[in-house]
Structure formats: C-alpha cells, structure tokens
Amino acid sequence: MLRTMRKLPMSALKLTSLCSEHACFRKTKIRVLSLTWQNTGQRNYSYSPDVKSLRSVVNPHISRIRNIGIMAHIDAGKTTTTERMLYYSGYIRTLGDVDDGDTVTDFMVQERERGITIQSAAVTFDWNDYRINLIDTPGHVDFTLEVERCLRVLDGAVAVFDASAGVEAQTLTVWRQADKHQIPRICFLNKMDKTRASFTYAVESIKQKLKTKPLLLQLPIGEAKTFRGLVDIVTKEQIIWKPTSDMDDGKHFEQKPLLETDDPNLFQEVQDARNTLIEQVADLDDEFAELVLGEYSENFDLIPADKLQSAIRRVTLAQKAVPVLCGSALKNKGVQPLLDAITMYLPAPNERSYEFLQWYKDDLCALAFKVLHDKCRGPLVFIRVYSGSLKPQSAVYNINKSCTERISRLLLPFADQQIEIPSLMPGNIALTVGLKQSATGDTIVSSKASAVSAAQRAGRDTGRGRRSSSDVESLLLAGVEIPEPVFFCTIEPPSMAKQQDLDNALSCLQREDPSLKVKLDPDTGQTILCGMGELHIEIIHDRIKREYGIETYLGPLQIAYRETILNAAQATDVLDKTVGDKRHFVTTELEVRPRLVDRAMTKPAIEYAESVIEVLPKDLQGAIENGITNSCIQGPLLGFPVQYIDVTVQSLTMHPDTSHTMVSACVSRCLQKALKKAGIQVLEPLMNLEITVSEDHLSAALADLAQRRGSVQEIQSRQDNRVVVAAVPLAEMMGYSTVLRSLTSGSATFTLELASYQALNSQEQSALLQRKMGLV
C-alpha cells in the first residue's frame, strides 16, 4: 500500500503496562484503569470522565444503547472521526491527531508509528443520554477480517468516505460485509475541506457503486477551502462552525433556521432537497406515504421534522436506504450532527431480530468476538451479550470448546483503558477477564444444562424430536469466515532455546488474530507463518519483537499456491496393521473428480456410493471425512492445499476391531494416490488491483502492469485522477509499492484484494516446480 507513512519520533514514547496504574473512584465503586505516556512532551490520558456519566454508563436501558462500527477504505478518516466523537462527548480533554500518533483508538505502537489502524478498538461513551459502544475498524485490506468480526456483533455502522474520492475499493468490500450481516448504515462524507472535495460526486459514487439509495439529510455550506458548515434538510436549520477567539475545536457552532434572505440560492436548493427526501421516503415507507398524501399533500413544508425523522429511521432500519451526512473531522465540523444521527437513525440492540434468542428465553447467550493478551491479566475476551446477563466471579459454559470457564472481572472498554463494572446486560459489549479457553467466534452460555435445554427447544422448533449434533450446531452463533492466507514465510527464533517462547507468542497472537495461521513444515521442521498480506506479516514480526521480546528471522515471503486436479481418477488402498492384540484392517476405494462449478466452496465435496451409505455406521463418517480433509491439506505435487475437488467413497470394508484413526489414515493415503493419478494442476492467487493515479503517470503505471501479467478491466475517472481496475497474479506483485512509488513520484495509491485462484499454464507450472526444487 502506497500511503505516506506518517512517522513520528517514537523513541520517546513508551506505554506503561495496562495494569500498572489505576485510580479509584470510591464514591461509585467504579475503577478506572488508566494509562499515561512516560514522556513529558506527550498528552496525558489520565482518564477521569465525571462520575455521573460513568454511573449512567454502567447499565443503560437497552433502547438507549447503540453498538456501532466505523468502517471504510484506508485513510478515509475513521480514527479522526472517532477521536472527535470522544472529545465532544467529554471523554477526552484534548484532541488527538492520527498524524501526531496520539489518538485514543490507534493505541498500538505500530499504529502510532505508521498512522494506520491495525486492530479494531472499542470505546464507550455517552451522547445525549444514549450509550454508544463504538468500534473503530482498520481500513487496510490485510485487516479485513478484523472489520468483519466486529460487524458480526454490531447493530449499526457508519461508513466514512473521503469526499474527494467517493467509494474506494475497500469501502466496497466492507459494505458487502455489512450487507451480509444485514447492518443498517449511515454514510458520512468526510474531508469536505479538501481541495477537490465534492458532495455531488461522492453521492453519485455511492449511488452507482454501492447500489443503494442515499437519503441526503444535509447539504454542505461551501466546499473545499470554503467549507464552513451545513444545512440540516429535515429541520431546514443551518449549522455554522465559527472559530472562537483562541480555539477552533468545533465545540461551538451556530444553529439557526435558514432564511431565504440569508442565501436565496441555498434556500431554494434546500427546499428542493427536502421535497426530494420526502418523496424518496414516502416511496419506501407506507405509513409516511399515507401522511404525505393525506394531511400534508398540499404543502410538504408543514410536515413536522419528527414525523420525517421517524420515517427515515424506519427505512434505515429496514435497510431500504442510507442517510448521508457530511463534514470534516479534521477541521472539527459535522461530527456532533453525526452523533445525533447515530442515536436517531441507527437501531438499538432490541430492534434487531435474532432467531436464536427464543431458545434461550432469558438465559445468558453471548458471543466472544475478540481476544487481547494483557501481560498481567492474561487473555481479555470481548463479549457481546444477546440475552441474559453476565456477572463477575461467575462460571460460564463455552459451547464451541465444551468447557466451563470462570469470569473474574467485567470491564467496559475505552480503547486501552478499562472501567470495571458489576454486571453486563443484554445488548451490551464488554471485556471479560479470566476466560482462558474462549476464542474469537465462541458462543458463551450460563451452563451446560442451559445449552442442553436451548438445544432441546431448538430441536423442537426445527421439528427434530431428539437432540442431535446439529441442534448444538444451531446454538452456535455464526462466527466469521476466515479467509485462507495468501502469503507465508518461515520464522526462526534467534536460538533453539527461544523456540518455546516463540511458540507461546505465536499461539497468543493467533488467538487474537484468527487470520494468522501457524504451521510446521513437515520436511524441515521449521515454523511457517501464513498471513493475509505483506503488511500483516510485517506487523506480526514486529509485535513478536516488541511485545514478547523475541528477535525472530523471517524467510523470504512466498505465495500460498493451491493444487487441484485435471481429470477424474480412482484408487484403492488396503491398511492391515496389528497393534498389540488388535488387528486393524481397512480396504477402501475412492474416486476424485475436478469440480468445475460452485467454486465458492474450496473444501472437498464428499459423497458416498449407495452400497456404502447403507451399511456405514454414522460415527465412522466423521473418521472418513477427517481422512479426506487431512489429505487435502498438503497436495501431492508441492504440498499446497488441494481445492475444488469432489470425492466419492465407493467402497469401505473393515475389521470390527479397527480404530477410527486407522480408517482415517487409510482413506487419507488412498486419496493421495487418487490425486496423483488425476494429474495435478497448480493454482495461483489472482488479485483485484485498483490503482489511483494522476493522468500524467497513467501510462507509466499501465506499461508496468503489462509486464506483470496484469489485465486491465476498466479505467475510471475519479475527479482529476484515473482509477485503473485490473486483475493481476499475486506472484507478480512482490515489492510493487516501491516500484509504483518511483514510477509516479509517490502520487499513486493502490489496493490489492484476493479475487480467485487461476491455473498456471504448463510452462509457468514447470518453472515453479523447478524453483521449488531448487533447480533454478
């Protein structure tokens, strides 16, 4: 990613450990664990919001809670907007800046150094008697999973846009994720102060690219350098930010009705925009349509603002349209109306419907969605409660891990500081201390008995009388799909003595970040790190050094290829082994076929011949499927995972004493044989590439792309820039950021995202084989 790395001298910045200090607020029994900079030159975050607001924060009524995510393309201004929200709601006393590395939510050292968000950070604050649990998510494509697992537990989202760029590549990705989780959204057109900022362009781009209906709730007053405020179309009030004598922090603004005499043109524009808004909403909401066509058909001006607002709320919750607001977070304009819109138009937790809640009645049902490792307190697990309540010092049951664990403390997150709370009610999000086994995506209930009775209710509802494993599965709240990594490299500790420490660090990091995979190379015994991109692996490497004090060595970054088959083939295998006094005897016959359709699924599709399914005991099916899945982890040609294959188990006979492990082993070996016979085809990751480049440098970027086996699909215009949309093999993109930077004098940016896997031609495949075998 070519973005200006906003470096700052970090040598002086050191975080005290999270557990090192805490202040006691005796009156309220609420403890605030605080964090300070050890450098006198830096801001001090000793956090002491007033006690009254903290009290109301502990357990607000569910209708007054908003669980919100901020999502967008990299650099759109999510963290800057979040920082302003915290400032205006009174939770920080000075404004931090991403470029100075002192915002609340970008608190990791790597984030502060690089000026980018790497992990999502949760903050809690109050706005006008509403409690907002907000998660600031990263925009870099390598951390897409981080966004999705947060969206999974949120009820609404704010999509932030750079008003000079409109919809950018990663916004499209996270927008689709929000669609998948059916999350109502608001759009915030940020950076209205920027040269080339264009409200009209950004709105058009939302319409075209996101295929959604934008509801314009505001119009900007001025654009770029002249941007100074906005008009609320619903109330027809103008809001102007005027710097006060010494401060320009945007706290103070003037809000008054817009009169025709103030600006006749703007007045007319607002009038037209309001009529359009009313028509749009009436088209989408019958209740409002009745009102508009009845009482107010003669004069839309008389429609009360609150009626229009309620209708906008209904269509937003039903995801029929998306309210659009604008502002400039950096210049402190437009954030307070955005906060009002969050409370007004986005849903409370009880306005979202979750089918599984009926099975729990009022029993606890919660989802663990993020894990952080704290050196002193061990794993801190973020939990969203859907029903029932959680208390400190209580035991809970993890359905995924089938284990009972104990929660010792409950904390409200405020970026890297936490406030201890006595209970957690439905719809709320908090951090738990004490859970040792629970990981991202696990479902937490009060006890095993509660899980069993919920499973029975689920079984009854779905028409199955008896409890089966699928009932338990239906109790598991869907986690997020973890994409397969595209890059890998070896990682070596400085000495063998440090291997154990490294293994420990990696297992902690994996619990925090499920997109990081760690494997052992069976041939060399080396540890292999697999990640989502170059930046992802670089950050992990850096964290191992800084957080775990281990200086590791990374091997060269390699592409995670895949293997598939060219033809159908059959194989048989016999396993005959006597262990102790038991004879294990299995024979099996398998057929493999290339899967040409339904390539969304990468795992093997497994079928059984009629003759097998009739006699196959149910519990043996798991062993067979394990054998097939294990065999697909390492393909027979280069050891890359095998995908896009269908497998039919044509026969399986066994001696009654045979263990399931032996059945798995025999099936696995038989499949390897069949795969070899079927002819292996190597697949390479094909990436969607989007380059934003000025007209002057377009031809240089295109010429370079042609050298990289890239195929240009489209060249779009984005204001004065061009956006090249292309598909290019990942193998050709190593070190691309440096090349593009020098070709375009640092003016271009790009994003890269996995599109699909494509077959290598036979020359490329044999060249790759030779390289892997060290022949060239």
Ligand X SMILES: Nc1nc2c(ncn2[C@@H]2O[C@H](COP(=O)(O)OP(=O)(O)OP(=O)(O)O)[C@@H](O)[C@H]2O)c(=O)[nH]1
- Site residues (vs ligand X, CB under 6 A): 72, 74-80, 98-99, 116-117, 138-140, 190-191, 193-194, 328-331
The arrangement of strands across the sheet holding 22-25 comes to: 22-25, 30-33, 417-421, 409-414, 429-433, 378-387, 365-374, 443-445, 394-398, 403-407
- Residue nearer to ligand X on the CB measure, 72 or 728: 72
Question: How much of the chain is helix, strand and coil, in % rounded to 5?
Answer: 35, 30, 35
Q: Which of 213, 235, 222, 227 is nearest to 280 (CA)?
A: 213
DSSP 317: H
DSSP 319: T
- Can residue 84 be called a binding residue for Mg ion (CB under 5 A)? no
Contact residue for Mg ion among 34, 79, 658, 692 (CB under 5 A): 79
- Residue nearer to ligand X on the CB measure, 116 or 689: 116
Q: How far is the CB of 220 from Mg ion (least distance, A)?
A: 23
Contact residue for Mg ion among 73, 78, 511, 595 (CB under 5 A): 78
Q: Biggest alpha carbon distance in the chain?
A: 100
CA–CA separation, 623 vs 613, rounded Å?
14
CA atoms in the 13 A half-sphere facing the CB of 136 = 30
- Residue nearer to Mg ion on the CB measure, 115 or 214: 115
- Can residue 82 be called a binding residue for Mg ion (CB under 5 A)? no
- Residue nearer to Mg ion on the CB measure, 70 or 342: 70
Q: What are the tokens at 434?
A: 């004490």
- Residue nearer to ligand X on the CB measure, 80 or 205: 80
- Residue nearer to ligand X on the CB measure, 74 or 338: 74
Judged by CB under 5 A, how many residues of this single chain contact Mg ion?
3
Give residue for tokens 């954030």: 335
Which one of the spans 75-83, 86-94, 386-394, 643-651 is the region binding Mg ion (CB under 5 A)?
75-83
- Residue nearer to ligand X on the CB measure, 43 or 140: 140
Q: Read out DSSP for 596-617?
A: -S-TT--SPEEEE-HHHHHH--
Q: How far is the CB of 71 from ligand X (least distance, A)?
A: 9
Q: How far is the CB of 103 from Mg ion (least distance, A)?
A: 8
Q: Which of 135, 98, 133 is nearest to 114 (CA)?
A: 98
Q: How far is the CB of 78 from ligand X (least distance, A)?
A: 4
Distance between terminal CA atoms of the chain? 30
- Residue nearer to Mg ion on the CB measure, 114 or 313: 114
- Residue nearer to ligand X on the CB measure, 413 or 493: 413
When CB distances are held under 5 to 8 angstroms depending on the partner's kind, the choice from Mg ion, ligand X, none that residue 205 binds is none
- Residue nearer to Mg ion on the CB measure, 117 or 751: 117
Q: How far is the CB of 106 from Mg ion (least distance, A)?
A: 6
CA–CA separation, 416 vs 36, rounded Å?
11
Q: Which three-class secondary structure state does DSSP give residue 714? A: strand
- Can residue 140 be called a binding residue for Mg ion (CB under 5 A)? no
Q: Which three-class secondary structure state does DSSP give residue 306? A: helix
Q: How far is the CB of 579 from Mg ion (least distance, A)?
A: 57
- Evaluate whether 487 touches 557 at the Cβ level (below 8 Å): yes
Which one of the spans 76-84, 228-236, 255-263, 588-596 is the region binding Mg ion (CB under 5 A)?
76-84
Q: How far is the CB of 341 from ligand X (least distance, A)?
A: 17
When CB distances are held under 5 to 8 angstroms depending on the partner's kind, the choice from Mg ion, ligand X, none that residue 552 binds is none
Give residue for tokens 């703007």: 266
When CB distances are held under 5 to 8 angstroms depending on the partner's kind, the choice from Mg ion, ligand X, none that residue 249 binds is none
Q: How far is the CB of 194 from ligand X (least distance, A)?
A: 5
Q: How far is the CB of 437 from Mg ion (least distance, A)?
A: 31
Q: How far is the CB of 675 from ligand X (least distance, A)?
A: 42
Q: How far is the CB of 111 from Mg ion (least distance, A)?
A: 8
Q: At CA 585, angle to CA 580 and CA 591, rounded to 5?
A: 145
Q: Which of 306, 339, 318 is nearest to 66 (CA)?
A: 339
* Residues 107 to 136 in contact with Mg ion, rule: CB under 5 A: 117
CB atoms under 10 Å from CB of 389, counted, come to 17
- Evaluate whether 365 touches 447 at the Cβ level (below 8 Å): no
CA–CA separation, 319 vs 347, rounded Å?
11
- Evaluate whether 258 touches 270 at the Cβ level (below 8 Å): yes
- Residue nearer to ligand X on the CB measure, 104 or 231: 104
When CB distances are held under 5 to 8 angstroms depending on the partner's kind, the choice from Mg ion, ligand X, none that residue 328 binds is ligand X
Q: How far is the CB of 97 from ligand X (least distance, A)?
A: 6
When CB distances are held under 5 to 8 angstroms depending on the partner's kind, the choice from ligand X, Mg ion, none that residue 152 binds is none
Q: How far is the CB of 95 from ligand X (least distance, A)?
A: 11
Q: Which of 350, 414, 398, 370 is nearest to 54 (CA)?
A: 414
- Residue nearer to Mg ion on the CB measure, 138 or 166: 138
When CB distances are held under 5 to 8 angstroms depending on the partner's kind, the choice from Mg ion, ligand X, none that residue 673 binds is none
CA–CA separation, 683 vs 700, rounded Å?
29
CA–CA separation, 444 vs 442, rounded Å?
6
Q: Which of 125, 136, 131 is nearest to 160 (CA)?
A: 136
- Residue nearer to ligand X on the CB measure, 76 or 104: 76
Q: Which three-class secondary structure state does DSSP give residue 18? A: coil
CA dihedral 727, 730, 734, 740 (to 10 degrees): 10
When CB distances are held under 5 to 8 angstroms depending on the partner's kind, the choice from Mg ion, ligand X, none that residue 74 binds is ligand X
- Residue nearer to Mg ion on the CB measure, 117 or 664: 117
Q: How far is the CB of 516 from ligand X (least distance, A)?
A: 19
When CB distances are held under 5 to 8 angstroms depending on the partner's kind, the choice from Mg ion, ligand X, none that residue 515 binds is none
CA–CA separation, 91 vs 156, rounded Å?
22
Q: Read out DSSP for 561-605?
A: -EEEESS-EEEEEEEEEEETTEEEEEEEEEEEEE--S-TT--SPE
When CB distances are held under 5 to 8 angstroms depending on the partner's kind, the choice from Mg ion, ligand X, none that residue 194 binds is ligand X
Amino acid at 614: E
CA–CA separation, 429 vs 411, rounded Å?
9
**Pairing between β-strand 443-445 and β-strand 394-398 as defined by DSSP bridges:** antiparallel
- Can residue 681 be called a binding residue for Mg ion (CB under 5 A)? no
Q: How far is the CB of 688 from ligand X (least distance, A)?
A: 18
Q: What are the tokens at 219?
A: 């119009």
Q: How far is the CB of 203 from ligand X (least distance, A)?
A: 17
- Residue nearer to Mg ion on the CB measure, 107 or 360: 107
When CB distances are held under 5 to 8 angstroms depending on the partner's kind, the choice from ligand X, Mg ion, none that residue 80 binds is ligand X
When CB distances are held under 5 to 8 angstroms depending on the partner's kind, the choice from ligand X, Mg ion, none that residue 75 binds is ligand X
CA–CA distance from 224 to each of 25, 66, 163 (Å)?
45, 32, 10
- Can residue 81 be called a binding residue for Mg ion (CB under 5 A)? no
Question: Which residues on adjacent β-strands are paired with residue 750?
Answer: 691
- Residue nearer to ligand X on the CB measure, 331 or 352: 331
CA–CA separation, 550 vs 499, rounded Å?
10
Residue facing ligand X at closest CB distance: 139
Which stretches of the chain bind Mg ion, using CB under 5 A?
A: 78-79, 117
